[in-house]
Chain A
């Protein structure tokens, strides 16, 4: 068992020396989470905007459903994806289980509802302001969806950052569908869980420090964006 200070020393040593294993894990984490984020934004932004623009029957139920999916436990999503992708499952023939692709699928299912629900909230206020003007100008629904996404860009970027923060810090879903296989599906969170249980606190802490730095940078980026938006009166 390493002592506390020793673990920190080891951690900074690993980061400073550019340890290959460490940065491979960080790289995979970023690749999986950023891809899941991209997919989630492609789904979530238009879906959120559509929920704002269209007043259809059952809209309230759909919104409640999306909102409650925000709080879905990651392990349950992991389990569902596992069941679907496992050899006996309906998509088992794809052979995706224990691959980064499976992890991307799980994370997308996890954060797409978050992106959609938060987008709807952000765009609702914008729509309240624009609706009458858009009807006066004869803007079609799809053009309105596009315009809301463009004009809500700063708010939506904050939404995306929130989604990314959730994805990159998530462990339950990716460990089930990824399996934490070394050099293949090992990401920061699963590696921290493993290294801690193995007692390799230096590696765990190094990853923890990097993960924390990412989380902090994401939040700083979010407030910087807000400041830019306010300066241009676009918030």
Chain B
């Protein structure tokens, strides 16, 4: 699949070429006139959205609003029909994706041990074998799986599997962590642990984009909220304002617990 778009040409007077990673950060996520169509239907249509490079952004909306699609567009897993996604100065694509990590709704774990799942990612990064082992143990401890290292990953419970997926995502030391309904239908202890790790990562300057339709979770995590309805961005505001006084009808209805069609 082709990547989203080409790199923005450097501004006049800008010093010679730098590596993509340098240019991306610090940088906000900018989305402009983003449209995704499939089979004649418009699935996502976001006129303009700019996200702070360090906040916890929660993308909310009813099921089928296009939240997961927007997250995949942002991650560069699918290409938009039209429009723009860029991180700082760099268009979304292979280079930006390597600075991001995504936790999917259903964790995809390798058919290997818990430890080997982390090693799979760490092996692709710098560091000696000993350093990688320390880092792996650190990550497993962080998600409460230190004593499970040698177990087959697929025998873990749902919550444990998702915690392992989160640890693997963090193993890439992402600048941006994307979570797609990552805690839907997990046990409360796992939800709490994942939320705590996400918030801790945020204080370490990782940008978080968290897709959820769980209102309580959105309140606990969000610095700012983007509300999607029928693929349209109806509003994007700081969390306090959004929860106190949503402006769009869809968000009002959603927050008051009515079914949003």
Show the binding face of A for B, using Cβ within 8 Å. 129-130, 132-133, 135-139, 143, 147, 150-153, 232-234
Contact check, B121 vs A137: say whether CB atoms are below 8 A apart: yes
The 6 tightest CB contacts between A and B, nearest first, are A233-B154, A133-B108, A234-B111, A232-B152, A151-B111, A136-B102
Contact with A along B97-122 (1 / 0, CB 8 A): 11011101000101110000000110
With contact pairs A132-B104, A136-B102, A151-B112 given, residues A233 and B120 touching in the complex (Cβ less than 8 Å)? no
Contact check, B155 vs A136: say whether CB atoms are below 8 A apart: no
Contact with A along B137-165 (1 / 0, CB 8 A): 00000000000000010110000000000
**Residues of A contacting B120 with CB < 8 Å?**
147
- Cβ-defined partner of B98 (8 Å) among A132, A138, A150, A234: A138
Contact check, A234 vs B75: say whether CB atoms are below 8 A apart: no
Can you list 25 pairs linking A and B with CB atoms under 8 Å apart?
Answer: A129-B108, A130-B108, A132-B77, A132-B104, A132-B108, A133-B104, A133-B108, A135-B77, A135-B97, A136-B97, A136-B100, A136-B101, A136-B102, A137-B124, A137-B172, A138-B98, A138-B124, A147-B120, A150-B112, A232-B111, A232-B154, A232-B155, A233-B155, A234-B152, A234-B154
Shortest CB–CB separation between residue A107 and chain B, in angstroms? 30
Q: Give A234 to B110 CA distance when docked, in angstroms.
A: 9
Q: Give A132 to B101 CA distance when docked, in angstroms.
A: 12
Shortest CB–CB separation between residue A201 and chain B, in angstroms? 48
Q: Is B241 an interface residue (CB 8 A)?
A: no
Shortest CB–CB separation between residue B147 and chain A, in angstroms? 18
Interface of B is mostly: mixed
**Residues of B contacting A233 with CB < 8 Å?**
111, 152, 154-155
Contact check, B110 vs A151: say whether CB atoms are below 8 A apart: yes
Q: Is B187 an interface residue (CB 8 A)?
A: no
- Cβ-defined partner of B77 (8 Å) among A129, A136, A139, A232: A136
> Total number of A-B contacts with CB less than 8 angstroms?
46
With contact pairs A136-B75, A138-B94 given, residues A147 and B154 touching in the complex (Cβ less than 8 Å)? no
Q: Give A234 to B102 CA distance when docked, in angstroms.
A: 23
**Residues of B contacting A152 with CB < 8 Å?**
111
Contact check, B97 vs A138: say whether CB atoms are below 8 A apart: yes
Residue of A nearest to B178 (CB): A136
Contact with A along B47-83 (1 / 0, CB 8 A): 0000000000000000000000000000101000000
Shortest CB–CB separation between residue A164 and chain B, in angstroms? 23
Q: Give A63 to B134 CA distance when docked, in angstroms.
A: 44
**Residues of A contacting B121 with CB < 8 Å?**
137
Q: Give A47 to B54 CA distance when docked, in angstroms.
A: 44
Residue of A nearest to B168 (CB): A137
Show the binding face of B for A, using Cβ within 8 Å. 75, 77, 94, 97-98, 100-102, 104, 108, 110-112, 120-121, 124, 152, 154-155, 172
Q: Give A113 to B100 CA distance when docked, in angstroms.
A: 40
Q: Which of A132, A133, A143, A153 has the most CB of B within 10 A?
A: A133
**Residues of B contacting A153 with CB < 8 Å?**
111
Q: Give A138 to B121 CA distance when docked, in angstroms.
A: 10
Q: Give A136 to B104 CA distance when docked, in angstroms.
A: 10
Residue of B nearest to A140 (CB): B124
Shortest CB–CB separation between residue B78 and chain A, in angstroms? 9
Q: Give A135 to B94 CA distance when docked, in angstroms.
A: 9
Q: Which of A129, A132, A136, A137 has the most CB of B within 10 A?
A: A136
Q: Give A138 to B94 CA distance when docked, in angstroms.
A: 8
Q: Give A73 to B190 CA distance when docked, in angstroms.
A: 57
**Residues of A contacting B154 with CB < 8 Å?**
232-234
Shortest CB–CB separation between residue A146 and chain B, in angstroms? 11
Known: A130-B108, A130-B110, A234-B152. 14 other contacts (CB 8 A): A129-B108, A132-B77, A132-B104, A136-B77, A136-B97, A136-B100, A136-B101, A137-B121, A143-B124, A147-B120, A151-B112, A233-B111, A233-B155, A234-B154
Shortest CB–CB separation between residue A206 and chain B, in angstroms? 42
Residue of B nearest to A233 (CB): B154
Q: Which of A129, A132, A138 has the most CB of B within 10 A?
A: A138
**Residues of A contacting B101 with CB < 8 Å?**
136-137
Shortest CB–CB separation between residue A178 and chain B, in angstroms? 40
Shortest CB–CB separation between residue B17 and chain A, in angstroms? 21
Residue of A nearest to B172 (CB): A137
Q: Which of A135, A147, A150, A151 has the most CB of B within 10 A?
A: A135
Residue of A nearest to B151 (CB): A232
**Residues of B contacting A143 with CB < 8 Å?**
124
Q: Give A136 to B112 CA distance when docked, in angstroms.
A: 19
